[in-house]
Amino acid sequence: MIIDAKRRLPTALPDADVCIVGGGPAGISLALQLERSGVSVLLLESGGERESDRSRDLNRGASDPLDSHEPLEENRRRQWGGTSAAWGGRCIPFDGIDFRERDWVDSSGWPLTRADLEPYYSQAMVLCEAGSMSFDARESLPEAPELLPGLDGDGVVSYVLERWSPPTHFGKRYRKRLAASSSVQVLTNATCTHVQLRPDGTSVDHLVVRNHPGQSIQVRADRFVIAAGGLETARILLASNDVARSGIGDHSGCLGRYYQTHLFGCLTTLELDPGAPRAHVAFDRDTNGVYCRRRIWFTPERQAADQLLNTVFFPVRPPLGATGHRSALFSGVYLAKTLIAALRRPHHAVRVLREEKSAIASHGKVLIRHFPSAIPEMYRAFVGRYVGARRLPAVLPADGLDTYHLQFQAEQVPNAEARVTLGTDCDEFGMRRLVVSPRATAQDIESVVRCHRVLDERLRAAGLGRLRYDEAELRRGVVTSTEHVNSGAHHLGTTRMSDDPTRGVVDGDCRVHGVTNLYAVGGSVMPTSGHANPTLTIVALALRLGEHLASTRTAR
């Protein structure tokens, strides 16, 4: 059953076995897992079927230093389905090394192993509709060309796959099933503003839940799970500070700390030697039609030998404003996005168009000059992006070129000084808004530089080509990206997992240390970030928690 509480909150709700806060991929996956076991569930979602300006405002916050992080409402969705409403669909499991304690990565190590999550990863792939749990191109795509023949060696490999969901909007995909469920009840437009502990602080008594008209109710259950995203989960626990004075779960001082995203950048080009094998950068599709793409990755042995953080590279289209590519398709994308940006903010349109005047003219010339030859490419891109059940994930450069722009996606070191705190401004419910303080380390920056150096050395040794970059400029570019973070919706680490109560907020079963009936699940519990986009692992963790809650349920 799904009830919209926008106008009126129910005055009476049956006590549930489990109450879940958050209707995104984690909360919905958890509810589905519990339903299979006959566990009664109440799921609370702060937003409605679609995001509204009012619900979007609840996500607003600040960054310290100013502008050191993208606006907090930019990469999140407070609505049914959560951020899966805007998800690109990339699915990648964490690597085995991500779970281990590494002597060159402070505060690394999970209380789980990759093997512990393996069965839940397989289930998560089904929920994400991303095909089989196979991420080795040699097994999944044996007939497809290699990314770059001759590259693999010396701990550099290119057979690692990413798989792509259609992408699955969890709210839409699983709405009918949950609406028809006799054991799951969903309340939308129902915002949890407080977790009320009992006076001794060892268990939760109830949640305070509010809606926009200003009504509030108390919600009770046997157990409670906060699955509200990497930022909001920490905010709710920090704000619930009447019994636990610094916030629930902050006994170790870790609550809100160790905030991680990923470092992203496209700061170099891959130049292939004349006569070298040509690269295959296009998406492939497996036997089930799932889009797949290869990545360049460093093996655990090479990471250890060179003290690298887990990092991947992949060829991408030129940066949006670049004009040297002579591609009518890419120039058309640039012009369309610039026009859309101007139309969305008409009061800034003149300034935007003036600032982009030179680039607009250059791209216009490219579009006119090369348009006829690009018609087939544009047609394929349109069909792939907008026709069919599975969307082409991105428009990539053609195979067989001499030069490619190369993007990296890199792990960050867990850093206690990177954190989220409560500010002084409040939202309409009186909850203090978040202040995010991202803090990159010198190790983050130097690891990215070393990864470029290792890849360049491998390309040269294999007689394939080189990376074209100036190391000082590369370092400056990485530093700039750490000073103005765009998280890409990868909000991790703020309620980190550890079986040692002095080193984490939740234990290996996602239970908040010291509170018998409170759990947190999602990106916030991840002690390290790896290189992988987090959604698949978030879903796997939620499924694992669901199995744990079902197996430890006590009879009413």
Which secondary-structure segment (H or E) carries 518?
strand 518-520
Q: Per 3-state DSSP, what percentage of the chain is helix, strand, and coil (rounded to 5)? A: 35, 20, 45
Question: H/E/C letters for each residue in 318-380?
Answer: CCCCCCCCCCHHHHHHHHHHHHHHHHHCHHHHHHHHHHCHHHHHHHHHHHHHHHHHHHHHHHH
Lookup: tokens for 19: 């109450």
Cβ neighbours of residue 549 closer than 8 Å, sequence gap 6 or more: 17, 18, 34, 39, 223, 225, 519
Q: Confirm if 236 and 228 have CB atoms less than 8 A apart.
A: yes
How many of the other CB atoms lie within 10 Å of CB of 119? Answer: 14
Lookup: tokens for 59: 């996500």
Domain holding 220: CATH number? 3.50.50.60
Q: Whole-prediction pTM value?
A: 0.91
| Distance (Å, whole) CA 491 – CA 232 | 10
What's at 251, amino acid-wise? H
Domain count, the chain: 1
Q: Confirm if 302 and 154 have CB atoms less than 8 A apart.
A: yes
How many of the other CB atoms lie within 10 Å of CB of 311? Answer: 25
Question: H/E/C letters for each residue in 79-140?
Answer: CCCHHHHHCCCEECCCCHHHHCCCCCCCCCCCCCCHHHHHHHHHHHHHHCCCCCCCCEHHHH
Residue at 224 is within a domain = yes
> Rg of the Cα trace of the chain?
24
* Binned average pLDDT, 10 residues per bin, the chain of 556 residues: 91 89 98 96 96 95 96 95 95 98 97 97 98 95 94 97 97 96 96 97 97 92 97 98 96 96 95 95 94 97 98 84 59 70 66 71 71 62 66 87 94 97 97 97 97 98 96 95 93 97 97 98 98 98 98 76
Domain, as residue range, for 24: 2-60+77-130+168-254+489-551
pLDDT at 555: 59
pLDDT at 483: 94
Cβ neighbours of residue 216 closer than 8 Å, sequence gap 6 or more: 9, 193, 208, 209, 210
pLDDT at 394: 87
Q: Where does 139-290 show beta strands of DSSP type E?
A: 156-164, 184-188, 191-197, 204-210, 216-219, 221-226, 263-272, 284-285
Residue at 262 is within a domain = no
Q: At what angle do helices 535-551 and 25-36 cross, to 10 degrees?
A: 30
| Distance (Å, whole) CA 316 – CA 216 | 49
Residue at 286 is within a domain = no
pLDDT at 553: 83
Lookup: tokens for 274: 């004349």
DSSP secondary structure letters along 258-311: S-B--EEEEEEEEEEPTTSPPP--S-EE-TT--EEEEEEEE-HHHHHHHTPPPE
Residue at 281 is within a domain = no
What's at 102, amino acid-wise? R
Residue at 124 is within a domain = yes
160-180 burial: b if 16+ Cβ within 10 Å, else e: bbbbbbbbbbbbebbbeebee
The HSE-up count of residue 99 (CA atoms within 13 Å, CB side) is 14
Residue at 103 is within a domain = yes
| Distance (Å, whole) CA 206 – CA 227 | 16
| Distance (Å, whole) CA 525 – CA 507 | 9
Q: Confirm if 550 and 329 have CB atoms less than 8 A apart.
A: no
Residue at 287 is within a domain = no
How many of the other CB atoms lie within 10 Å of CB of 181? Answer: 18
Residue at 198 is within a domain = yes
